């Protein structure tokens, strides 16, 4: 006779916003998802597997997409008639740092479901089960932009313009909702089956009015504005704009705009002087001017996303992204 199945606590999204954080030191660790096959979850005999939990919610687990120190991303498929493939972000509440549980995870769960834009990954559902938070997300089958650039190199300017427009339009949408992303980078730009760009990962996102300054220094050093690197209170809207400048530079050149391996003083000097080796790249003068405009050292004088979208370079002819090669074939 089979043993009775243990009842599990399943918490809906609305309750998740009020859960008591796991007590851990507040030394915040960024949850960048990296490819890994190592499993760090210890499961007892009564601990349900990811596959069992997803099955209870009508999803069939297909494979792992990536993992970090306290989160994983799985590919799953809806068991109903639509057979929709989704990405499932799974956060281990017992391993995540206390500051993440207290501040960042609740914000992500509050903000992401409210967002609806064609160039932002859709948030379908979330629930807590057996000490893990599950987020059901839109699946972008062609992977992330960083992997794409590493595989194929820089993208021609006419197609880069289309990518930049999509990123800027999505960012304007966020800023219009008083939402700042605060971690825009190539790894957080996904490509769907038609190579449309989708912003993902709202771990650091926050509601900010146009005049609110932020004092949480998050994101990645390679995309960080001078005021973040120097630890000053900063305008997160303008920090998002700076990060977009770094993204555009990398997409068009295949290189980082600033050498993050140098000391802080040298990086700030590079950011202030803006001496780029344009002679190595066949890029238009209008693109070069736009990049230097975005990389305005003083964030007060740095253009807003609305001003960037009115720039002549972004208004020039662009090519369909569908002509780009696939980063990864869909299953």
Q: Which residues are annotated as a binding site for ATP?
A: 89
Q: Which one is catalytic: 129, 144, 183, 192?
A: 183
Of 274, 206, 257, nearest to 234 (Cα)? Answer: 206
Question: How far is Cα 24 from Cα 259, in angstroms, rounded to an integer?
Answer: 34
Partnered with residue 60 across adjacent β-strands are 77
Three-state SS at 91: strand
> Ramachandran region of residue 222, left (φ > 0), alpha (ψ -120 to 50) or beta?
alpha
Question: How far is Cα 34 from Cα 12, in angstroms, rounded to an integer?
Answer: 28
DSSP structure class, residue 234: B
Question: How far is Cα 66 from Cα 64, in angstroms, rounded to an integer?
Answer: 6
Phi, psi of 206 (to 5 degrees): -155, 150
Of 210, 217, 238, nearest to 297 (Cα)? Answer: 238
Phi, psi of 89 (to 5 degrees): -90, 125
Sign of CA dihedral 14, 18, 19, 22: positive
**In sequence order, what are the residues at sequence separation of 6 or more whose Cβ sits closer than 8 angstroms to the Cβ of residue 273?**
none
Question: How far is Cα 247 from Cα 271, in angstroms, rounded to an integer?
Answer: 15
What's the Cα-to-Cα distance from 273 to each of 145, 210, 270, 293, rounded to whole Å? 28, 28, 5, 12
Please say if 328 is a catalytic residue.
no
DSSP structure class, residue 17: T
**Binding region:** 89
Whether the Cβ atoms of residue 164 and residue 123 lie closer than 8 Å to each other = no
Question: How far is Cα 291 from Cα 242, in angstroms, rounded to an integer?
Answer: 9
Structure tokens at 135: 């987020």
Q: Which residues are catalytic?
A: 183
């Amino acid at each position: 006779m089979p043993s009775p199945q243990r009842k599990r606590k399943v918490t809906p999204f609305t309750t998740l916003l009020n859960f008591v954080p796991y007590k851990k030191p507040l030394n915040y660790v960024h949850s960048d998802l990296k490819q890994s096959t190592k499993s760090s979850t210890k499961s007892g005999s009564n601990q349900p597997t990811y596959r069992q939990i997803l099955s209870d919610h009508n999803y069939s687990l297909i494979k792992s997409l990536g993992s970090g120190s306290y989160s994983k991303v799985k590919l799953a498929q809806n068991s109903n008639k639509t057979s929709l493939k989704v990405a499932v972000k799974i956060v281990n509440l017992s391993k995540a740092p206390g500051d993440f549980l207290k501040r960042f995870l609740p914000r992500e769960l509050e903000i992401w479901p409210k967002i609806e834009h064609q160039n932002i990954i859709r948030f379908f559902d979330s629930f807590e089960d057996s000490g893990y938070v599950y987020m059901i997300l839109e699946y972008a089958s062609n992977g992330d932009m960083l992997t794409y650039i590493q595989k194929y190199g820089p993208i021609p300017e006419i197609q880069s313009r289309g990518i930049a427009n999509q990123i800027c339009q999505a960012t304007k949408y966020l800023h219009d909702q008083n939402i700042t992303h605060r971690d825009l980078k190539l790894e957080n730009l996904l490509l769907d089956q038609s190579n449309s760009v989708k912003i993902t990962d709202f771990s650091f996102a926050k509601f900010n009015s146009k005049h609110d300054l932020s004092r949480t220094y998050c994101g990645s050093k390679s995309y960080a504005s001078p005021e973040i690197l120097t630890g000053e209170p900063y305008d997160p809207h303008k920090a998002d704009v700076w990060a977009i400048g770094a993204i555009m530079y990398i997409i068009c050149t295949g290189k980082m705009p600033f050498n993050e391996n140098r000391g802080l003083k040298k990086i700030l000097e590079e950011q202030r002087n803006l001496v780029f080796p344009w002679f190595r790249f066949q890029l238009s003068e209008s693109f070069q001017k736009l990049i230097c405009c975005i990389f305005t050292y003083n964030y007060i004088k740095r253009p807003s996303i609305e001003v960037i979208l009115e720039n002549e370079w972004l208004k020039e002819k662009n090519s369909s992204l569908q002509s780009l090669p696939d980063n990864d074939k869909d299953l």
